[in-house]
Amino acid sequence: MESITVLVGSAVAGSSGQTNDNTQKVEFEAEELASRTEYGLARDGVGITDSRGVTETLYKTSDGRLVVHVKDWTHWQGEPDTYTIHEATEDDLSATGRWAALGAEAGYGRPLTLDEAIEKLHGEATEAELFGAPD
């Protein structure tokens, strides 16, 4: 175990260099199990951009709890970086859980069943459903 320090709250940088920082440090003893970054989509909706994203980190604390730290970040002035921390369960890290991709990185994942995959795809609108089929 090591001493971990993360932030919670938000911080935003203005165009003239001022910063509004409403973050606080959180310290705890834990082992980092996995971390992943999901990048935002480019403005045209095609491809990814490195100017916005979400980084999730999974920790196992000294008392055995699973904790996920989430940093929703941006490189754009006037947009906040937000930091949150959540207690998680193994179900949250499972193939159908809230943090399935992070759970897979940490070895909690498994392949979806056929029914889970169909339900997941059916529950998410496709680009064609949202914007119509291309002409």
Instruction: Please spell the DSSP secondary structure of 49-92, one letter per residue.
Output: EEEEEEEEEEEEETTS-EEEEEEEEE-STTS-EEEEEEEE-TTT
Q: Mean pLDDT over all residues of the chain?
A: 87
Q: For residue range 1-43, what is the model confidence (pLDDT) as tens digits?
A: 999 999 999 999 888 888 999 999 999 999 999 999 999 877 7
Which is higher by pLDDT, 130 or 3? 3
Tell whether 134 is covered by a domain.
no
Tell whether 55 is covered by a domain.
yes
Which is higher by pLDDT, 129 or 20? 20
3-state secondary structure of 104: helix
Tell whether 35 is covered by a domain.
yes
Tell whether 132 is covered by a domain.
no
pTM greater than 0.85: no
Tell whether 111 is covered by a domain.
yes
Tell whether 43 is covered by a domain.
yes
Name every residue whose Cβ is closer than 8 Å to that of residue 120 and which is 6 or more positions away in sequence: 96, 112
pLDDT for the residue numbered 75: 86
Segment holding 38, helix H or strand E: strand 19-41
Domain with 9, as residue range(s), is: 2-126
pLDDT beyond 80 at 135: no
pLDDT beyond 60 at 133: no
Tell whether 83 is covered by a domain.
yes
Query: What total number of domains does the chain contain?
Result: 1
